[in-house]
A = this chain, B = another copy of it.
Amino acid sequence: MVASEIRALFAVAARPEVVSLAGGMPYVSALPLDAVGQMVGDLVARNGAEVLQYASAQGDPGLREQICDVMSLEGIKASADDVVVTVGAQQALDLITRIFVDPDDVVLAEAPSYVGALGTFASYQADVVHVPMDQGGLIPTALRETLERLRIEGRRVKFLYTVPTFQNPAGVTLTPARRAQILEICAAYDVLIIEDNPYGLLGFDNEPMRALRADDPDRVIYLGSFSKTIASGLRVGWVLAPHAVRAKLVLAAESAVLCHSSLTQLAVREYLTTQPWREQIKDFRELYRERRDAMLDSLGSLMPEGCTWTRPAGGFFVWLSLPEGLDAKAMAPRAIAQRVAYVPGTGFYADGSGHRHMRLSYCYPEPHRIREGVRRLAGVIEQEIELRDTFGGAGGSGAQSAFVDTPGPETL
């Protein structure tokens, strides 16, 4: 339901006069559209009997080989036989949850966590328990305490769901030292890890981080996606899983959609074979870095005192925390009226908290629009602060109570 609320917000935010800092849409117009069009057209004309036909449920073998090459950039050694191509990484999440989760099982997730994952976990009646983060990502001691508490309570923990790199929505990245600790803790408590990594190749500063999967092939199920590195409209993602899980995933995929589209799978295969995809990712990185800079600069010069935000080193998102007494969800319609949109933090928590936070995306609007959006947003927040100071609260009554239980605001 929460994911759908966000979509409703996007519908309003799509009006041209609104600067949308809400959507996580990649800027696909940066692709060489003529070349990609030519490539796809030739593919259909030349190889239509395959491109327009059913595929195997596991996905095209050639594409799965290429996926292994892409993952090797993050230190992953894998066999194409353990890869399943999915309808975006979202389908991978759905199939994994379907396989592992029974109602009331515990799923651990960062606070805040990806809204689409929370929606899927909810649809299978998982009990999501959040684990706090800070600028260095998931906090290992907090993870250990949470696992210990759940063990004492006799709860069944099915897996830890994490976006370790350039996290959605918080924009933070798990440090290398903590990666080792998280793996160690999950091994000690025998907890599976779902590593969701759509943004891993979109870092602004360094070489790609080493994936969690690279250091524990048996405990980590890795989700990848071409949505941000090629094009989201293809819906080509994948899951790399230990062999026994992979077999179950193929059966579940077959039951869910029979097979993926050959056209989109083979378009990706052809793109990776014939187009300069590494250079294109570099172009994307530079484009998003420029936009990240535009956002951080504007936030720094325009945001009223009491606001704090994260400083992403890659990916699409900044996580902004409002001064005490403000409510990002209650404020959203007033922001829209001022022609700026964001996603209120509440969508990223399964427990109703997150009211004081918002996700700001810099991936889609051009830099001058980002600056204009932040300017408008700063104006809205200033008005809210005035309202709070005058009336002792900015609407959204009862919303504040959730903060007490929220690990996010203090630690991010």
Q: Footprint of B on A, CB under 8 Å? A: 1, 3-4, 7, 25-26, 28-29, 31, 33-34, 36-46, 48-57, 87-88, 90-91, 94, 98, 116, 119-120, 123, 227, 231-235, 250-252, 254-264, 267
Contact = CB atoms under 8 A, between A and B. Distances in A.
B53 A232 contact: yes
Given A235-B259, A251-B1, A54 B25 contact: yes
Contact of A120 (B39, B232, B255): B255
A317 to B, nearest CB: 16
A233 B52 contact: yes
12 contacts: A29-B48, A31-B48, A34-B45, A37-B41, A37-B46, A50-B233, A54-B227, A55-B233, A87-B261, A120-B256, A235-B260, A264-B264
Contacts of A41: 37-42, 44
A89 to B, nearest CB: 9
A176 B41 CA distance: 43
A300 to B, nearest CB: 30
Contact of A258 (B116, B251, B255, B257): B116
A263 B233 contact: yes
A101 B135 CA distance: 43
Given A33-B45, A119-B255, 9 more contacts: A1-B251, A4-B250, A7-B57, A28-B48, A33-B48, A37-B41, A37-B42, A90-B257, A235-B261
A62 to B, nearest CB: 15
A36 B19 CA distance: 37
Contact of A38 (B36, B45, B90, B251): B45
Does more than half of chain A's interface fall in helix, strand or loop, or is it mixed?
helix
B257 A267 contact: no
A255 B118 CA distance: 9
Nearest to A56: B7
Give the interface centre of A31, A40, A227, A234 by most chain B CB atoms within 10 Å: A40
Nearest to A47: B33
Contacts of A4: 57, 250-251, 254
Contacts of A98: 123
Contacts of A250: 4
A116 B254 CA distance: 8
Given A25-B54, A233-B52, A261 B258 contact: no
Contact of A7 (B1, B90, B254): B254
Q: Which 4 A-B pairs have the closest CB atoms?
A: A41-B41, A37-B45, A233-B262, A52-B231
A257 B34 contact: no
A25 to B, nearest CB: 6
A252 B90 CA distance: 12
A257 B94 contact: yes
A141 to B, nearest CB: 32
Contact of A263 (B53, B120, B264): B264
Contacts of A90: 256-258
Contact of A264 (B48, B56, B231, B261): B261
A258 B37 contact: no
Contacts of A264: 261, 263-264
Given A257-B235, A264-B263, A252 B53 contact: no
Contact of A88 (B7, B42, B45, B257): B257
Contacts of A7: 56-57, 254
B28 A37 contact: no
Given A41-B44, A252-B123, A31 B3 contact: no
Contacts of A46: 37
A32 to B, nearest CB: 9
A263 B257 contact: no
A255 B121 CA distance: 9
A34 B120 CA distance: 41
A283 to B, nearest CB: 15
